[in-house]
Structure 1
Amino acid sequence: MDPKSGPLYVILDALDECEKTSCHQLLVSISDMLTDSSQSMKGGSRIKFLITSRPFLHQSYANSQKVFQSQISIDDDQTGYTEDLQTFIQERIHEISLNRQFSNDIRDFLCEAIMSKADRTFLWIHMVLASIEKSLLTSRKEFQKIITSIPEGLAEIYHRYLTAIPLDHQEDASKLLKLLLACSRPLSLDELNIAFTMDPSYTTAESIMQNSHNSIAHTVQGILGSLVRVTGQQVSLVHQSVKDYLQDQYIASIDSPPAIRMVNPQGSALQLATVCIQYLLLDDFTVDFFPTNDSPTSVIAEETDVFGELPLGDFEGDFWDQEDHDLDSNTLFHDPAILHPEICDSLVSDYPFYTYASLHWAEHFARCEEDAPEELKDFARSLLNPDTANCRNWLSFYHVKAPTLDDDLMDQNPIILASQFDSYTVLKSLLLDCEPSQVIKNQSLYWASRLGHDRIVTALLQSGAEPNTRQLEGQTALTVASEHGNRSCVTALLADSRINVNAPGRNGRTALSFACGGGHDDIVKELLNQKACNPDEPDNAGATPFFWAVGGGHHSILSTLARLRSVDINHRDKTGRTAVSWASGDGMADTLIRLLKLPRININAKDNKGRSPLSWAAGNGCTDVVEILLASPKIDKTSIDNDKRNAISWASARGHCQVLVRLLEAGCPGVDAEDIDGWTPLAWAIQTDSPDTVQALISDENVLIERRDRGGRTALSWAVEYGHIEVVKVLLRAGADTGTQTRSGRTPAMIAKDFGRDDIVKELEVYGP
């Protein structure tokens, strides 16, 4: 090189995509050249290489070469990476939108939809954007289809990645892909290492660790290449579209290696379920790690370090004769429930795969149990038998780490457990072996219905479970299934001739009430199709399903119910409030607009205290709702409640100045009217210490600032006694008389002095003697 020239930069992009042998040779040549160059060149001129690749290339070769030590990490979990992707998406969508003249709504939809599925994968983003740009169909539905399907060309890329897997690692690749395809969350490297190593020959966790891989990141990246992403200590498929591609049955018909063609949802679930079950049945877990009900202070497995502070040895003479033991009451009489989290932490530390296996084995087994070998089914049954320590251990762990069930899972009946964890084959086996009590069957039906296990629901109904009994919180199987949106369970329950579709659950609410409140349109329609269904059945508070649909803002359900003649849209609950009243008081402007369009709706219905929807909206500061109500020609602006308070009074009492202004602008009367106790809106505003509200009131010519209440006191007198100095200033600026006296002859200044408010005294002196 000419010594006068500057550095020469050579950029090699995506070197890890190259054929491995030639890639390695190239790196060797670059290393040799740079080493020779650094020794021979005395000037500052030299060749500089910028090489980009995934971390695997650097870890497998370059990391050991001195010339390649300089490294810039651009991991996708770095700060700013997601923001950069979002900026790129926004710029490209903006460009496409300009060319296609898309509306702002479509542009925003595309940005949000793509970003939500991007998963930090530029390749997927690039190909989706290209598909959108080329698409001749431009409806929102078509764009949604493009975004949710595998982009054109990406399948070919994934196929190329699969065919690049070394022939001698096809079985390994198949096992890894099954684990990554089936996992419910990204696995840690330690978890994947154990799952990949695990086979039936191992009986202890130690034996697994002894034979596990020493560099699992190197192993998985070397075998699967660009199909996986290792981020920190987590490993996952590079994008959701890889999972979609592997789950597509079309893969079985293309020229993939046999081992790869075996990667499918069922087989993957079976692979991971087998690993999880085998791990939980290791000899390590055949002793109780958690205190049992029989003995709250029983000694836990010796392997557990949680109780390392107990003085179980290493002392001479009688233990109780020694006085230097650090043994407090917490050590001797520790509440077992408090100990559980500590024991869980110890298990997580000593057994890296225990968390995943405990929390997810049942869901994986449920997906594949029909195809599972009999031995695995027997193992699963063992894990659902509380008579075994293996079962008690993972159940206790599950209860601490995934407290999704309300009651204690310890000492549960196996049939209830099988129902809770959707183990259909285990349940069928248990039902064949013994006849459970009616109570057990009914409890099991409740849990299956609540958790959405429709196969279990059907099996239990066939075995004689009673669908109408009330369980936890008074819920029936149908009400709890409806509450949690489990349509398949609702369908199974409704098919039983014994079902009472109107049976009350928690707080007297029916299944329809829960479905309406949860926004479960499909369940609502299915329930309404039942001839016996009462769509206007009130609960203990007098609220009907229509109330709950309104309260949840579920407009489609609201419309469905309103069309039924049997539904009273002006129904009053036990407080006398209607759906319009609740929507108004809760500030549900969009819902209220829909309610006011109903031809039979009563916009002025008063509750038991005489309060109207306008009163509730004003009192709760719902400005938008107040404007909507005032715009209706049916609104009664003069409405007062049982205490003779109007909307202005309620807005003033809560300090809602904006609402007050809207009411005054709309000409609502009663700005200076007394209520049943003689209080005017101004009196309420002064009490609540709202200077802006006070100012808005006294700006109205109908408000008498010197009006005396029934005790003979003025607004200024009360403001001084309350100590609300900002309100005092507003009144003084408006000309309030500082010399007025109460019936006992006390002036505002005297009141201020009595309360030690020198600051208020000074303000009063400025405006009067």
Structure 2
Amino acid sequence: MNEHPTALDASSILSSFIKQLCEILQRMSRPYPEDVAREIRKFFGHNRVKADFDDLKDIFTYFFPHVSNTIYVVDGIDALDREHAKFLLEIFRSLFVNSGAQQGSRILLLSRDQVPGYININTFMPGIRQISTATNVMEDIETYIDSSITDKTMCRKITDDSSLLKEIRQRLLAESSGMFLWVYLQLEILWDTCYTDGEIRSALVSLPKGLEGTYGRCIERINRKDSRVLKVLKWVSFATSPLHIEELREAVAFDLEDTAWKTEKIPRTEFVIGCCANLVVLDSTDNCVCFAHSSVKQYLEKCRESNTIQGYPTRAQGDLECGEFCVTYLSFSDFSLQLSTRRKEEVAVAVPPPLLLAQETLPGLFPRRFLQKPRDQKRSVSVQFREIRTASTPDRTRYRFIDYAVKNWALQTKQIPRTSQVWEKFERLATCFNETWNFHPWISGGRSASSRLHSLFGWAVTERHEPLLSIAQAALPELKRVCDLPVIGESLPALHVAAKLGNTAIFKILLNVCKVDVPDLEGFTPLHHAASRGHLEICQLLLSTKKMKMNARSKSQCTPLWLAASNGHEEVVSFLIEKQADIMDSATFAHQVPISRAAEKGHEAVVKLLLEKGADLEARDRQWGQTPLLWAAENGHEAVVKALLDKGADLEAKDEHWGRTALSWAAGNGHGVVVEMLLGKGADLEVKDKEWGRTPLSWAAENGHEAVVKVLLDEGADIEAKDKDFGRTPLSLAAMHGHPVVVRVLLKKGAEIEAKDGFGQTPLSNAAGRGQDTVVKVLLEEGADIEAKDEDRGRTPLSEAAKAGHDAVVKVLLEEGAYLEPKDNAFGRTPLSEAAARGNEATVKLLLEKGADIEARDKRWGKTPLLQAAGSGSEAVVRVLLEKGADIEAKDMEFGRTPLSWAAENGWEGVAKVLLEKGADPGLAFQVHIDNPKQHMGG
């Protein structure tokens, strides 16, 4: 269970996934495409912009198929807010259920059976495997009951009747349904309410069914006449973060009518925790107060709907009541924010009265009779931005609630009406800046009144805070001078922020204040942002101004239509086309026209719409030269592929960079349904790409797509087709890339197990040289020649594995009887010499354990393994060889050099020291004159 709202936030969960995926790609040295890298820098870099859920969704959806075989874990999804659970499950369904992009990735969702707003996860995500723990915990629950009764008996003995205690244990275990929380609450109720054996038996007879029945019993025990009880429930429900017990004590102590902090009003901890009859608990790890379980809050919401608990507010009302209290608290006389406070500086902006302001900014929304000019037309309203300085900051050890109030007063007053009894205090907080301690959540860009106004205004727009925006509006003339500046922390002007967020109410207000055609730092207009997010009404409002260019290009040359198509916003695409947007305009960074981008992203409805409106079915992007069909096939978008084929898309069109067809791309990426679709339309089974000369079967085999390989073989694909540059068959490609299942499929279908590539290497040699031990086992089981030598250098599979240091493969080959002393054609080295020359310590040990000749000399230089290791600077291998008895004074046959001579000549000081420690003679003469090796080491 997780009681921290920020951790149980859909955006936080996606953000965490994105950061982890970035780390994986960095470890794999895989680069990001430039457009994605730009988004990462924007939202996660040093000068980051706050990302919203849609931003994170787009980035995560891109990254997902690029990191295969990953397990995603979300714990406590049932504790998420209903909307957040919906957003996440929709993304997971699209990626794990409705798409072929999983690439071996899986997801683990930990939850109760019921998710708020849905029947269960299995219904929302069909086919997901469910594992229930309810039947596996009964022994643990029995232990828990016994230990809890023992602990509670130490405080109060509930009965002297041992048989009754046994009955308590048996009944609780039988009725628990595997729920620890249910057991915990029953024990609490029994110890709190039962003082006779009769009361105990009566309680056991009428044990509530499930958690809801238990919560109902708790509600019955609450003293609902005490307003503080409702306050506790309210604060635990609606606080933006769990309150420390000391914070909660103050939160329930005061009312909106209070004007000063009074210690005598603050209740004791025991009362605050105990007044809600075990529905709330104190977390001993941090002394924060939370519900006994997240389901308590859901139960309270049900109670509100049935009016079981009078006064328990809706979420919006509860949020507002918390915010109003924060305003009241910060306005206490103790904190020097009263109207009588001496001001250091005061700036007043004279503006028209509110009614005239409303007529100007919201025309047509009010009947004329409500907007008649006042008799005194010269009178004006002043909005004052005050600046004060207090002697010191409040004592946070005394005023424990103040930090929460400072952080949340603005966040929790987004719905505060002017009729609120704390409105004047709220307005005062918003317009008064304290130099000593800052209680504003917005950051000011300066000390002038204009800077204060700009900061308040920008924060109000970003946080969708209409009441604060109305305060900023009152300073309209000054506001118009600053409203088009980038909002602090967003790098976007306010109108762009509102367009991006899709807040129509705020956007309508801003349209009468801000300029609509001002580009942001990336050259995006408000129309770009609205189209990108699918905010149709805002697009309509912008174009109705007649000041917005339909085909305006950003710095990356994106048009609003391209962005709408890219993100699958069919209604916006349709509207923009109706307004004469250019459907063939491409974006520079991708060089794609809208239909290609929509096809790449899998937006079927948008693709169909663009085709209906005349988009070119065979349009090619300028970077890769791919048609819409190629983009859709590459990414496995079945519905889009079908739509394009139905319209007559060229089945054999090749991209201009790699020369691959739709079938080649689909096969290489493992999109089986698309492969079958293309084959059904008559796609060329043996078409070879321009770059590598590989068939669709070769691509599928190389990437390990078993199902696609089977489909292609069943259709008669050439199982021995060789690629252009390396002459590798599908079997060689599957073997060298480590796909044992595909290797078995190909062998079963008759693939030549000894087929040699352009270097004369068999599939076994290719697999051994690349460390694919599982594939090596499969090939040996199927009869591959363990001593086959390549035609280029005459190396056996064992030589290849030893040279590369693949210990697991070496071990397999040795166990299967590979010859220990084969010598290659080029240098005449044995596997031990190859391993020693490259410093592969573990491989050297394996070969020596199997009896490899420790003094075997190569053909070219006459070097022993020790000479090879000393000359290449491998200190660890030198030690191993010496420990196994290698001749420390062995001389090569070309120059007559000893291991010490080679180490000194090449500057391997560590190796030389090891040799000297082991008794190497520094005075031996070399066949070719070289100075004494000690001179090479400075002594």
Same fold (TM over 0.5): yes
1:507-526 pair list within 5 angstroms: 507-520=556-569, 523-524=572-573
CA deviations over 1:201-256 (Å, ceiling 9, x no partner): 6567x63685246555578648xx9xx877973259956586578589xx9xxxx9
Seen in structure 2, the aligned counterparts of structure 1 residues 660 and 304 have a Cα distance that, compared at 3 Å, is: farther
CA contact (8 A) 1:519 1:557 kept: yes
- Counterpart-to-counterpart distance in 1, 2:791 and 2:157: 100
Residue 700 (structure 2) pairs with residue 651 (structure 1):
yes
Partner of 1:211: 266
Q: Specify whether residues 467 and 61 from structure 1 end up closer, same or farther in structure 2 by C-alpha distance, changes over 3 A only.
A: same
Choose the corresponding residue for 2:497, options 437, 447, 468: 447
Which digits, 9 at most, give the CA deviation of each residue in 1:40-93, with x for residues without a partner? x9x979998999999999989963876589999x9xxxxxx9xx97xxxxxxxx
Q: Secondary structure at the match of 1:369?
A: coil
Deviates more, 1:667-676 or 1:264-273: 264-273
Amino acid at match of 1:454: T
Which aligned pairs between 1:88-237 and structure 2 lie closer than 5 A? Answer: 121=212, 193-199=249-255, 207=262, 210-212=265-267, 214-217=269-272, 221=276, 233-235=289-291
CA offset digits 1:319-340 (Å, max 9, x no partner): xxxxxxxxxxxxxxxxxxxxxx
Give the superposition deviation at 1:635.
1.8
Shift of 1:633: 2.0
In structure 2, relative to structure 1, the CA distance for the partners of 1:618 and 1:480 (3 Å cut) is same
* Match runs of 1:4-153 below 5 Å: 63=192, 121=212
1:383 is aligned to 2:435: no
**1:466 alignment partner in structure 2:** 515
Shift of 1:610: 0.8
Q: Deviations over 1:453-477 (max 9, x none)?
A: 33332222202x1223332554432
Contact 1:273–1:364 (8 Å) recurs in 2: yes
Tell me: CA distance 1:35–1:651, structure 2 relative to 1, closer, same or farther (3 Å). closer
Q: Report the Cα distance in structure 1 between the residues aligned to 2:763 and 2:157, rounded to whole angstroms.
A: 91
Richer in helix (by share): 1
Distance 1:177 1:515, change over 3 A: farther
Matched, 1:273 2:323: yes
- C-alpha displacement at 1:581, in angstroms? 2.8
| Counterparts of residues 301-450 of structure 1 (less than 5 Å) | 353=401, 357=405, 360-372=408-420, 376=423, 379-380=426-427, 382-383=429-430, 391=438, 394-395=441-442, 413-433=455-475, 434-436=477-479, 438=481, 440-442=483-485, 443-450=493-500
Aligned counterparts of 1:303 and 1:69: Cα–Cα separation in 2:
58
How far residue 501 of structure 1 moved from its aligned partner, in angstroms, is: 3.9
Q: What corresponds to 2:586 in structure 1?
A: 538
Shift of the alpha carbon at 1:274? 1.4
Q: Deviations over 1:244-286 (max 9, x none)?
A: 78589xx9xxxx99xx689778865653331122334557877
CA distance in 2: counterparts of 1:746 and 1:217, whole angstroms: 79
Give the secondary-structure state (helix, strand or coil) at the position aligned to 1:368.
Answer: coil
1:568-587 correspondence to structure 2 within 5 Å: 568-573=616-621, 574-587=623-636
**TM-score, length of structure 1 as denominator length:** 0.58
CA distance in 1 between partners of 2:186 and 2:740 (Å): 69
Identity across matched positions, percent: 23
For residues 283 and 417 of structure 1, the distance between their equivalents in structure 2, rounded to whole angstroms, comes to 27
Letter in 1 for 2:614: S
1:386/1:586 Cα in 2 relative to 1: closer, same or farther (>3 Å)?
Answer: farther
* Cα 1:410/1:716, change in 2 over 3 Å: farther
Residue 587 of structure 1: how far off its partner (Å): 3.6
Q: Per-residue displacement from partner, 1:488-540 (whole Å, max 9, x unpaired)?
A: 54454344322234434584444444444545555555x44751334454323
SS of the aligned residue for 2:616 comes to coil
Answer yes or no: is the 8 Å Cα contact 2:551–2:582 preserved in 1: yes
C-alpha spacing 1:200/1:764, structure 2 compared with 1 (3 Å) = closer
| Matched AA of 1:586 | N
d(CA) in 1 for partners of 2:663, 2:320 = 60
Residues 1:564 and 2:612 aligned together: yes
CA distance in structure 1 between the partners assigned to 2:420 and 2:470 by the alignment: 15
Alpha-carbon deviations, 1:404-460, whole Å to 9, x = none? Answer: xxxxx9996222122223333433433443423655335222233333433332222
| 1:94-119 alpha-carbon deviations (Å, 9 max, x no partner) | xxxxxxxxxxxxxxxxxxxxxxxxxx
Within a 5 Å distance, the mapping from 1:670-709 to structure 2 comes to 671-697=720-746, 703=752, 705-707=754-756, 709=758
Q: 1:754–1:63: structure 2 CA closer, same or farther, 3 Å change rule?
A: closer
> How far apart are the structure 2 equivalents of 1:575 and 1:357?
55
Question: How far apart, CA to CA, are the structure 2 residues paired with 1:704 and 1:168?
Answer: 85
* 1:115 corresponding residue in structure 2: none
Tell me the CA shift for residue 572 of structure 1.
2.8
Residue 507 of structure 1 contacts residue 539 of structure 1 at CA under 8 Å; is this kept in 2? yes
Q: RMSD value over aligned CA atoms?
A: 5.6
Q: Check whether the contact 1:59–1:218 (CA below 8 A) recurs between aligned residues.
A: no
Indicate the residue corresponding to 1:599 in structure 2.
Answer: 647
Distance 1:703 1:191 in 2: 76
Per the alignment, do residues 500 and 283 of structure 1 end up closer, same or farther by CA in structure 2, a change over 3 Å counting? farther
SS of equivalent to 1:234: strand
**Equivalents in 2 of 1:47, 1:680: separation in Å?**
73
Compute the displacement of 1:707 (Å): 4.4
Whole-angstrom distance in 2 between the partners of 1:513 and 1:729: 51
Aligned position for 1:742: 791
- What amino acid sits opposite 1:418 in the alignment? A
Higher relative contact order (CA 8 A, sep 6+): 1
1:518–1:353 distance in 2 versus 1, CA, 3 Å = farther
Distance in 1 (alpha carbons) for counterparts of 2:602 and 2:663: 19
Cα shift at 1:379: 2.6
**2:690 match:** 642
Letter in 2 for 1:274: E
Q: Who is 2:71 aligned against? A: none
Cα deviation code 1:110-147 (max 9, x no counterpart): xxxxxxxxxx64699xxxxxxxxxxxxxxxxxxxxxxx
Displacement after TM superposition at 1:668 (Å): 2.5
Summarize the Cα distance change of 1:266–1:70 in structure 2 as closer, same or farther, 3 Å threshold.
Answer: closer
CA distance in 2: counterparts of 1:751 and 1:56, whole angstroms: 67
Structure 1, residues 687-734: CA drift from partner, whole Å, max 9, x if none? 32445444544555675835462x555556555655656656666645
Deviation at 1:377, TM superposition (A): 5.0
Structure 1 pair 554–751 and aligned structure 2 pair: CA distance change class (3 A):
closer
Contact 2:661–2:689 at 8 Å: present in 1 too? yes
Q: Structure 1: state its 5+ residue gaps.
A: 1-33, 75-80, 86-119, 125-156, 288-299, 306-346, 398-408
1: CA distance between counterparts of 2:553 and 2:497? 17
The residue identity in structure 1 corresponding to 2:266 is N
Aligned length: 568
Deviation at 1:646, TM superposition (A): 1.8
